[in-house]
Chains A and B, each alone.
Chain A
Amino acid sequence: MEVSFEKKDNLLLMAFAGRLDTVASGDLMPKIGDAMDPSVSDVTVDCSALDYISSSGLRIFMTLYKRTAAKGGKFTLKNLSPQVCEVLNITGMATLFNIE
């Protein structure tokens, strides 16, 4: 999966493209770790190109959510595909995250 990072003040803007499956999640996590410096309190992920997410990917979302929540910030997901949306609904995360 491809990921792009953009930092705007205390907002980390990411765009995921492709499939966030177990393999991709494994590769992604370290990269996010690098990008998430202490100044970041909000995270937004553009999911317009995200075709697929598995539980490993959900794990990453949860981690990001908890980190921003701890800093009083917001975790936002944008342009979710129906499949990813369904998964978030099933797992009850849709209500947790900020969906746009």
Chain B
Amino acid sequence: MKLSWEKIKRGSRGLGIILFAAILLELISGIQYYYAKREIEDEARKLAREKLENANLLVESAMSQVEVATMNVRQFVIRNLSNPKMMFDITRIIMEANPILDESAILFVPDYYKGSKEKIPRDYQPVTFRNDDGSLTTSDYSGSDMDFYTRQWYFEVVETGAPVWTDPYISYTDGDLICTYSVPVVDTSGVMAGVLISDLSLTWLENFVKEGAGSFDNSFSVILNKLGGTILDTRDGDVPEELKEIGAEIAVTGAGEMKLDYRDTASYAFYGPLGKSGWSMAIICPEEGILGDINKVSAWLLGLSLLGLALLMLIMYLTGRNIVKYETIKESKQKIENELNIAHGIQMGMVPNVFPSFPERDDMEIFALLNAAKEVGGDLYDYFIADGKFWFCVGDVSGKGVPASLVMAVTRSLFRSESLHGTDPEEVMRSMNSAMVDINRSDMFVTMLIGRLDLADGTLDFCNAGHNAPIMIGHDGPEKIKVNPNLPLGLIKDFGYRGQRVTLPMGATVFFYTDGLTEAENPAKELFGEGRLLGHIHSGDSPADIVKGLSSAVSEFAAGEPQSDDITMLAILYRGGIKSHLSIRNEVKELEALPVFVDSLGLPPELVPNVNLALEEAVTNSVMYAYEAPGTGDVDILSTVRDGVLRLTVCDSGKPFDPTKAKDPDLTLPGKDRPVGGLGIFLVRKLMDDVSYVRAGGKNILRMTKKL
């Protein structure tokens, strides 16, 4: 349950971010769209207006031209009214001079030429019209059955006496769209003779309008007359109501634009006056046509961005899931690491790692180091002193990591339990092997070397079990000790392990190690090897020097290559010379053992009393004061004779006290002022050659020396 709530929380956080991003995006897009739309509208507007302007100018100029030409010819007609036959030529001449005209005609009032000698028809109408190929044809429309007198260009002009521009209409001669300019012809006597008409072809206008409309998709143009009625339409459309209404106004109001709904489509209408005759032109284009593209693009972008957001959400969801998974894994890994660290601590606690290990003894010195390759490992070493014998072991469990460390722990326990009541290393090895074969389920084995050093005489009994040979360092330098090739522990039940014995001369060091040392690799895959090992050991080095020196030598050699196996080193220096060892409890009665002890040392008789005294003082001090009553503890007395010097060591594990810090009593004080006590330590200092104190390993260690 906890897992999915976490997911939701994470999800909603991510969702919030996405929503915010989405809103921001859409906002920006919206603003962009708005401005783009305005741009496009402006462009469209400019284009339309241009078209309208151009149309307007064209129409104006065409019409002006027609008016001027017609007016001029009218004068000519008036002057030549007495010559009716001449009218044909006149219409021809005007047509020749004005290619813009489609037709020129003069329709005389009925019976104008009645009574003339040329026999002129009643509805005299000379005409010249332009053919499709551009040639002119002069004709006489008199006597046709078309009632021209009903035409607007006739009766309006005759009635008003003013020129008229008709609305565009289809010419009856050739079916083209034309419009007619008609002017009255009044003779010199002021009588209306007829009308002179000029037909202006509007095909070019038709084309122009068609062209203009094509600028926008699905748009069309209309040309309206001054009443709002349609003159021209580029397609079969009804003029939008709105436009009809303002059709009449446009000529007055001038150019403009509006938005309207044309056949349920939102559209723009750009309009403007056309010519001076009250016509107007409007271009109607659906918004779609103008904005079509950006609308499409915007729609696509919107769609894509939504798709993108959906994709993002999916990814966030999946990632969220993975993150939670990842974090649980990280947690587990952290837990495992913590536990391994704790295990490492426990393991390190299993091997003696306080140095100096036996500070009160100067008959031997020991130093050891265990570098596990992983947090926990399979190497081990152990040692202890019991009854003047120094037991130790060095071992290597096959494998590394947690399984090896478990076997290591078992092996160590076995070593302790067997050696504490065992007789010699060979026997201990056999017992350990027996126990380990029984419990060995996973075919792990342990190489091992167990030793027992008699501190009194330097006899080293040891038994090897498949472990690498130790190195003896005497005066002449390091040398391998030959070992019996016994099997490692845990393989064959009842294997006949055979022990060995060497004698350590005083001052010799033995060095034990595991193969992690000699098999350490460098980046070039070379091994550290025995050669280098021996090269780094010099006689005269202290155990700490040897071990630490080799440790840094291996690090340097490995040059960053990760450690592949545990490395263990143990160096034991045997000085020998301990003559006797006495251990008493912190009771005054026990002090009686001291004289006996001193006697056993075999000292020159003249030294005995003073040694006795010094020893008694030192020991009394520990007995009385080291352990707070009612606590009990031991006081150990060790005696060494070496190089003609007697060394007595008194040590206890009581509270820290340095007797050498006590001030000498003032012997010059007069008797009554002299304190009663405080002489013990003073006597020790006076009677022995050298007195030194050290606190180590939780013990007070007082050393006194006397030259023999």
Contact = CB atoms under 8 A, between A and B. Distances in A.
B623 to A, nearest CB: 8
A26 B587 CA distance: 12
A69 B620 CA distance: 29
B673 to A, nearest CB: 10
A44 to B, nearest CB: 17
Among B589, B613, B620, the one with the most A-chain Cβ atoms within 10 Å of its Cβ is: B613
B613 A96 contact: no
A57 to B, nearest CB: 10
A58 B679 contact: yes
Contacts, number: 62
A55 B679 contact: yes
A90 B683 CA distance: 8
Interface in B629-680: 665, 667-668, 671-672, 674, 676-677, 679-680
Given A23-B589, A54-B613, A55-B683, A66 B672 contact: yes
Contacts of A26: 588
Interface string B366-384: 0000000000000000000
A36 to B, nearest CB: 15
Given A54-B613, A54-B616, A54-B617, A63 B591 contact: no
A21 B591 contact: yes
A54 B677 CA distance: 11
B616 A22 contact: yes
A35 B671 CA distance: 23
A83 B667 CA distance: 19
B400 to A, nearest CB: 57
A87 interface: yes
Contact of B682 (A63, A86, A91, A96): A91
A62 B674 contact: yes
Contacts of B667: 91-92
A75 B667 CA distance: 18
Interface in B570-602: 588-589, 591-592, 595
Contact of B588 (A23, A58, A59): A23
A69 B682 contact: no
A66 B617 contact: no
A65 B617 contact: no
Contacts of A87: 613, 683
Contacts of B687: 90
A13 B655 CA distance: 42
Nearest to A26: B588
Contact of A56 (B609, B610, B620, B668): B620
The secondary-structure label for the interface of chain A is helix
Given A66-B671, A69-B671, A92-B667, A22 B679 contact: no
Interface string B319-336: 000000000000000000
A22 B676 contact: no
A26 B680 CA distance: 15
A51 to B, nearest CB: 8
A91 B683 contact: yes
Given A23-B589, A87-B683, A91-B667, A52 B609 contact: yes
A5 B610 CA distance: 28
Interface string B602-626: 0000000110110011001000000
B85 interface: no
B686 interface: yes
Interface string A14-51: 00000101110010000000000000000000000001
A81 to B, nearest CB: 9
Nearest to A82: B609
Interface string A85-100: 0110011100010000
B664 to A, nearest CB: 10
Given A22-B588, A55-B679, A65 B671 contact: yes
B257 to A, nearest CB: 128
Nearest to A60: B676
Kindly state the interface size class of chain A when it binds its partner.
20 to 34
Nearest to B595: A19
Nearest to A83: B609
Contacts of B592: 23
A91 B671 contact: no
Contacts of B609: 51-52, 83
A58 B687 CA distance: 15
A69 B653 CA distance: 42
A87 B671 CA distance: 17
A24 to B, nearest CB: 10
Interface string B536-576: 00000000000000000000000000000000000000000
Nearest to B590: A23
B541 to A, nearest CB: 42
Contacts of A65: 671
Contacts of B679: 55, 58-59, 91
Contact of A59 (B589, B613, B671, B676): B676
Contacts of A91: 665, 667, 679, 682-683
Contacts of A96: 671, 674
Nearest to A65: B671
Contacts of A92: 667-668
Nearest to B681: A55
A90 B680 CA distance: 12
Contact of A55 (B610, B617, B668, B672): B617
Given A21-B591, A23-B588, A52-B609, A62 B682 contact: no
Given A52-B612, A54-B613, A87-B613, A23 B591 contact: yes
Contacts of A56: 620
A47 to B, nearest CB: 14
Contacts of B668: 92
Contact of A22 (B620, B671, B672, B686): B620
A91 B683 CA distance: 8
A69 B670 CA distance: 12
A52 B686 CA distance: 16
Contacts of A52: 609, 612-613
Given A66-B671, A66-B672, A96-B671, A55 B677 contact: yes
A49 B672 CA distance: 28
A97 to B, nearest CB: 9
Nearest to B619: A22
Interface of A: 19, 21-23, 26, 51-56, 58-59, 62-63, 65-66, 69-70, 83, 86-87, 90-92, 96
Given A53-B613, A58-B679, A69-B672, 18 more contacts: A21-B591, A21-B616, A54-B613, A54-B616, A54-B617, A54-B620, A55-B617, A55-B620, A55-B679, A59-B677, A62-B674, A63-B676, A66-B671, A66-B672, A83-B610, A87-B613, A90-B686, A92-B667
Interface of B: 588-589, 591-592, 595, 609-610, 612-613, 616-617, 620, 665, 667-668, 671-672, 674, 676-677, 679-680, 682-683, 686-687
10 contacts: A19-B595, A22-B591, A22-B620, A23-B588, A54-B617, A55-B683, A62-B676, A70-B672, A83-B610, A90-B683
Which 9 pairs from chain A and chain B are nearest by CB?
A: A92-B667, A55-B680, A55-B679, A83-B609, A62-B676, A96-B671, A90-B686, A22-B620, A54-B616
